[in-house]
A and B are shown apart, each in its own frame.
Chain A
């Protein structure tokens, strides 16, 4: 699946998007955040406060317990500050 990062999540990780293949035990958005945080220092820094991170699956906001099965694109970003 494709993963996209925005704002300071993107800056901390150092890339805007990548393609990942998480193991089968990674079932929810929360699981994915924990798995990503274990991928290295930059990821650990980006996801150091998982509760702050918002997620979207295929362009729709989702809660941390949302299942990721079948997702084509998952995005992680800070709370929005537009308008």
Chain B
């Protein structure tokens, strides 16, 4: 069966169980599903966060995620791949991002999920703004996200 790739950028929340069911229903070739969900933290460096607001570059964000999804499909024997990234205002405890990877065996699913998240963090055009008691500020990029993405181009 052909692998189904789903990429969505949306304001609405998503249901992880429903997304996994959509990926695996009526299939018997899937032996492993790995899910990663990124969730909004309630504090950063000891300071309370009221909410995050996520901005994206429409058009480019979808294209970047799809390009990395295709790279993952070519690199690992995946039977399904879903990436959902939310935009807009997100409160602590709410979902931000979901990556699902399905494969016959677990190793490919684990590796592809990690690859996709590392590349998403370093290359997908999304920006976070934090709201706290002190006001609002843009979250600064961290060098280790670039390092995490770079390790997939080595070896």
Q: Within 8 Å of chain B (Cβ to Cβ): is A59?
A: yes
Complex contacts, B140 vs chain A, CB 8 Å = 79, 81
Q: Within 8 Å of chain B (Cβ to Cβ): is A61?
A: yes
Which of the segments B12-20, B56-64, B71-79, B101-109 contacts the partner chain? Answer: B56-64
Q: How many residues of A contact B (CB 8 A)?
A: 16
Closest B residue to A75 using CB positions = B57
Contact flags B24-62 to A (C-beta < 8 A → 1, else 0): 000000000000001000000000000000111101110
Q: Within 8 Å of chain A (Cβ to Cβ): is B152?
A: no
Complex contacts, A69 vs chain B, CB 8 Å = none
B129 to chain A, nearest CB (A): 8
Which of the segments A1-9, A24-32, A34-42, A43-51 contacts the partner chain? Answer: A1-9
Q: Within 8 Å of chain B (Cβ to Cβ): is A78?
A: yes
B72 to chain A, nearest CB (A): 15
Q: Once the chains bind, are B124 and A83 in contact (CB under 8 Å)?
A: yes
Q: Within 8 Å of chain B (Cβ to Cβ): is A20?
A: no
Q: Within 8 Å of chain B (Cβ to Cβ): is A56?
A: yes
Q: Once the chains bind, are B59 and A80 in contact (CB under 8 Å)?
A: no
Q: Within 8 Å of chain A (Cβ to Cβ): is B4?
A: no
A61, B63: Cα distance in complex, Å: 11
Q: Once the chains bind, are B117 and A82 in contact (CB under 8 Å)?
A: no
Q: Once the chains bind, are A6 and B117 in contact (CB under 8 Å)?
A: no
Lowest 6 CB-CB distances: which A-B pairs, in order? A82-B126, A79-B141, A83-B121, A7-B127, A59-B60, A81-B139
